[in-house]
Structure 1
Amino acid sequence: MNAPIIKVLIVDDSAIVRETLREVLESDPHIKVSGVASDPIFALKKIEEERPDVIITDVEMPRMDGITFLKEIMSRPDPIPTVICSSKTEEGSENALKALEFGAIDIIQKPKLGTKQFLEESKIRFCDVVKAAYRARLRKLPLGMTAVPPVQPKLTADVMLPRPDRGHLFIETTEKVVVVGASTGGTEALREFLSMFPQDGPAMVIVQHMPEHFTRAFANRLDGLCKITVKEAEDNDTVLRGRVLIAPGNRHTLLKRAGSRYYVEVKDGPLVCRHRPSVDVLFRSAARYAGKNAIGVIMTGMGDDGARGMKELHDAGAYTIAQDEQSCVVFGMPKEAIKAGGVDVVLPLEKIAGEVLRFTQ
């Protein structure tokens, strides 16, 4: 059976951005840009002419802002999955996060025009986001849908943290550390998850696939909503009870240990499992430095980032939890982790925090 072609409508007031996104997306033979519009008013007319499978829209545009446009799309009987393409400005970040609350599937950062490395990596990120949005609507991909070979090799966590020798030993400790990985749909899932923890909740490090600069706004938003403290991770931050560290966009975050102190290392590196930060990188580091004192949680998202790391956590004696299919926006990452044999228990989103507290109190 032939793989379907995903039809995308791009809405942005910049002609250069529209054409750059078209070029990036149509590098994937499974994606076709079926239309472009300079503002939401034109976009609504194009939707009536030909319904797209996915919409990519800016939030700051003339005549109608992207939030109002999103509300219009989401209020329809048959809403269209929408991805926000936003600038990295403080206002752009806040508006993009607000859009997620109104039903946007994910955020991508506006292309850095003329930056070859960014555009090459964007082909991976942007095309994966479109496919995730398409899957979020259909829940399951049609038979025959296969991933397009990435622009560069799909690297594993070996590039950031080589596998330890068999004789590697963990220092005995009773301190528990929670590591969490999420992607598409994860921003709202994490909001619900973290809001259930008390002020002195367990020490936690989270990788949420999100562009550079947006993670700080995301962490600040969660900090204002949750009893537990939430901040964007910085290199050498101590991992403490009562504090959640969110991996910064475009940087890998590793859990490390010096004596009885856990801390994070934030560093550059290549895409791992097509992402930076990568869940696999965080999970492998937790398997090595926390071992049986770690609790691993993998949430909604497309792809297999975190599956190998979850298995390594499991094999190191950690307790591992996956979000169930019914509560996921996209049941990709949890499904792959379960398939790899690295998951102890599968739970609906609303029960995961309680299970984590049971193992950390």
Structure 2
Amino acid sequence: MALAVTSTSRASTATGDRVRVMVVDDSVVVRGLISRWLEEQPDFEVVASLRTGQEAVDQVERLDPDVAILDIEMPVLDGISALPLLLAKKRDLVVIMASTLTLKNAEISLKALSLGAADYIPKPETARGVTTSADFKRDLVEKVRHLGLRRRRMRAPRPATPAAPAHPDTRLAGGGARPSVAPPAHTIEKTVALKLRPFSHTLPRVLLIGSSTGGPQALNEVIAQLGRVIDQVPVLITQHMPPTFTTILAEHLSRASGRPVREAQDGEPVVAGRVYVAPGAIHMQVARRDGSPVIVLRDGPLVNFCKPAVDPLLSTAAQVWGGATLCVILTGMGSDGAKGAAELVAAGGSVIAQDEASSVVWGMPGAVAQAGLCSAILPLGQIAQKVTRIFSGERS
């Protein structure tokens, strides 16, 4: 089974096509560094470097940025207070919250996502840390690029070409799907056939979920609807997040699902009725001990520039559960999860990917979809329903 979809490749970066960025931070050192990093990129234009949230609110309409990098702790008007005011003046503004790794700021960052922020980025605690952190620079640049270009695609007019008929597992329906994403004017379109695989005939005994950019919002929506599934089988989640943030994420998911959700602990048994979240800065894997599956935490090198990464979880789950594994890949940058998903599918398991239109970034789900590893590609609002039906015995 195949689906014809449109993919895009960059052709050029003219001055008018640059992503316009507004940097808002009360530290002059941090503002200067971030502005310089972004200006070094040919596809970015820093339109303002501001000290307070109030300055950003006052100038956002005149500056017309695509992306705002918004610090949380600022004088006059802090980031969480400025966020709704900015979005009220410019609804399609992409806001990336920047915060240091404290429990309070982790809670505020996740709250900001529920208020309309597109993403967050953990910031080193000192100006020196910002200066020396190559990971912070890389993550910041990539988030601005992916989210800024997506915003431009959504605003660009779609060419008047006939739409290809959609497969039932990929067509948009009511259930939370976002508007279709139109390609930017400076891209070249090409058709890619996405082949769908049959679902495994084995009833799954575990659910795995991988996500990154846009993941906290997507996870909340999916987990809130999976009560019956969580009662039947264990659910293991790897979300790209630093320490402290994963603690708060687990608390939010527990409230959303009404089920026990917590950061996984090394050596604990994997049992039905619980949701296990990979702790920040460590890889979550699984293994069999005395015939039963257990959590294994490994403090190894980065995988796909990430820790925790999705691939280690999927690869080891393929060995533990084989064809009795169902995996969902949600929105996220990069291709983490594709290698592990290939091993899982080779062992007889099944993969569902979030579709492009409802993803904040169609990197991770796009990678497994384009590799032909998926049995379904669905809007976010349809994923929980599909998963529930599969655990009830549906095999198509």
Normalising to structure 2: TM-score of the pair?
0.77
Query: Equivalent residues in 2 for 1:303-342 (5 A)?
Result: 303-342=334-373
Normalising to structure 1: TM-score of the pair?
0.84
What's 2:251 paired with?
Answer: 220
1:119 aligns with 2:133: yes
Offset, 1:27: 5.1
1:47 aligns with 2:57: no
Distance in 1 between residues matched to 2:347 and 2:256, nearest whole Å:
34
- For residues 98-141 of structure 1, what are the alpha-carbon distances to aligned partners after superposition, in whole Å with 9 as ceiling and x for unaligned? 10001111111112443499711122211121123214423466
Q: 1:279 to 1:118 in 2, by over 3 A?
A: farther
Quote the RMSD (CA, aligned, Å): 2.5
Counterpart among 50, 54, 62 of residue 75 in structure 2: 62
What's 1:188 paired with?
Answer: 217
Query: Equivalent residues in 2 for 1:48-127 (5 A)?
Result: 48-76=61-89, 78-112=91-125, 113-115=127-129, 119-127=133-141
- The structure whose Rg is larger is 2
Residue type of the alignment partner of 1:6: V
What's 1:246 paired with?
Answer: 277
Q: 1:256 to 1:224 in 2, by over 3 A?
A: same
Distance in 1 between residues matched to 2:338 and 2:182, nearest whole Å:
19
**Structure 1 vs Structure 2: percent identity of aligned residues?**
36
Whether the 8 Å contact between 1:24 and 1:126 is mirrored in structure 2 is: no
Distance in 2 between residues matched to 1:25 and 1:247, nearest whole Å:
31
SS in 2 for 1:289: helix
Offset, 1:342: 0.9
- Bigger mean CA offset, 99-108 vs 264-273: 264-273
SS in 2 for 1:63: coil
Distance in 2 between residues matched to 1:88 and 1:116, nearest whole Å:
13
Counterpart among 143, 157, 170 of residue 129 in structure 1: 143
- Structure with bigger RCO (C-alpha 8 Å, 6+ apart): 2
- For residues 231-256 of structure 1, what are the alpha-carbon distances to aligned partners after superposition, in whole Å with 9 as ceiling and x for unaligned? 12232232221111111222222122
Offset, 1:8: 1.7
Distance in 2 between residues matched to 1:274 and 1:30, nearest whole Å:
22
Q: 1:252 to 1:30 in 2, by over 3 A?
A: farther
Whether the 8 Å contact between 1:108 and 1:211 is mirrored in structure 2 is: no
Distance in 2 between residues matched to 1:72 and 1:222, nearest whole Å:
27
Offset, 1:197: 2.0
Residue type of the alignment partner of 2:115: F
Distance in 1 between residues matched to 2:281 and 2:205, nearest whole Å:
27
Residue type of the alignment partner of 1:209: H
Counterpart among 254, 257, 281 of residue 312 in structure 2: 281
Distance in 1 between residues matched to 2:183 and 2:240, nearest whole Å:
21
Whether the 8 Å contact between 1:231 and 1:245 is mirrored in structure 2 is: yes
Residue type of the alignment partner of 2:33: T
What's 1:149 paired with?
Answer: none
SS in 2 for 1:75: helix
Residue type of the alignment partner of 2:12: N
Whether the 8 Å contact between 1:287 and 1:312 is mirrored in structure 2 is: yes
Distance in 1 between residues matched to 2:115 and 2:279, nearest whole Å:
23
Query: Equivalent residues in 2 for 1:148-167 (5 A)?
Result: none
Distance in 2 between residues matched to 1:24 and 1:256, nearest whole Å:
42
Residue type of the alignment partner of 1:128: E
Q: 1:237 to 1:124 in 2, by over 3 A?
A: farther
Whether the 8 Å contact between 1:301 and 1:334 is mirrored in structure 2 is: yes
- For residues 73-101 of structure 1, what are the alpha-carbon distances to aligned partners after superposition, in whole Å with 9 as ceiling and x for unaligned? 22235431000101221211111111000
Offset, 1:175: 7.3
SS in 1 for 2:207: strand
SS in 2 for 1:327: coil
Q: 1:62 to 1:77 in 2, by over 3 A?
A: closer
Offset, 1:320: 1.2
Counterpart among 319, 322, 329 of residue 291 in structure 1: 322
Distance in 2 between residues matched to 1:34 and 1:264, nearest whole Å:
47
What's 2:29 paired with?
Answer: 16
- Bigger mean CA offset, 275-284 vs 292-301: 275-284
- For residues 193-231 of structure 1, what are the alpha-carbon distances to aligned partners after superposition, in whole Å with 9 as ceiling and x for unaligned? 111122624211111122332111111121122222111
Q: Number of residues paired by the alignment?
A: 335
What's 2:12 paired with?
Answer: 2
Q: 1:227 to 1:283 in 2, by over 3 A?
A: same
